[in-house]
Amino acid sequence: MNGLYPIFMQLIGRRCVIIGGGSVAQRKLQGLLAAGADKIWVISPSLTPQIVSLASEGKIRWFQREYNDGDLAGASLVFAATNDKRLNAEIAAAADQLGILVNAVDDADKGSFISPSIVRRGDLLLAVTASGASPALSQQIKKELAALYGPEYEEITIVLRRFREKVLNSLLDEQERQSVLKLAAEEAATLKRINIDMDEWLQSLLHRMDRGLT
C-alpha cells in the first residue's frame, strides 16, 4: 500500500508555481501547458532557452530571481524544481504548511504528490506511476500504452463525447443509456473509427440490444 490517491486536476484559472528553470523544471512546465494551465509562474535566476521562449511569448510569467518567502501565496500547485535539494525540501515544507499541493522533484517523500508518466490522446488521458520506486518502469509502461492507444483515440473520444450527448438527450431510461454507451465504446475501440450519422448509430445499437446481440 503506497498511500497515493490518483486524481486528475483542473488547472485552468489556478496559479501554478515552478521554482527552478532547468531541464526538470522545463519538463514540469510542458506537462502543465499540455494540461491547459494558463496561470504559470516560473521563479528562477536563469532558464533553459525553451522556457525563455515561452516567457517571451507570454505563455508564462518569469520572475528572474531567487525564491523568496511569500512566492507560494495564492498558488494551487507548486513544483520545487531547483538543483538544490535542501531548498526544494524547504519549499515543499512551506507549501505543505500553506495546504498547497507540492511536488519535490528530487525527493517524492518530501512532497504531497508525484507526477505520473502520461499519454494524452485528446480527452483520453492515461497516467501511470510506480510511486517513485522505478521511474524507468513507468516510462516503459507509458511507451506500451502509447503504442496500444494510438493517435486515432483522439478522434474516437471526440465522437464518443458527441454520441454521449446524443444519448443523454434521446433516452430517458438510465439502464438503457448505460447499455448503449457501453456498446458504443466497445464498437469504437474495436473499429478504431466511427464514420456514421449519430442517429443511425444510436438506432443500430438499440436494434442490437433488442435482438440480444450484445
Mean residue pLDDT across the chain: 93
pLDDT score of 2: 62
**3-state secondary structure string across the chain:** CCCCCCCCCCCCCCEEEEECCCHHHHHHHHHHHHCCCCEEEEECCCCCHHHHHHHHCCCCEEECCCCCCCCCCCCCEEEECCCCHHHHHHHHHHHHHCCCEEEECCCHHHCCCCCCEEEEECCEEEEECCCCCCHHHHHHHHHHHHHHCCCHHHHHHHHHHHHHHHHHHHCCCHHHHHHHHHHHHHHHHHHCCCCCCHHHHHHHHHHHHHCCCC
> Which amino acid is located at 146 in the chain?
A
Question: Is it the case that residue 98 has pLDDT exceeding 50?
Answer: yes
Residue with cell 501547458: 33
pLDDT score of 1: 45
pLDDT score of 210: 83
Q: Among the listed ranges 65-74, 112-121, 128-137, 168-177, which one has the minimum average pLDDT value? A: 128-137
Task: Give the residue-averaged pLDDT of 98-121.
Answer: 93
* Predicted structure pTM score: 0.85
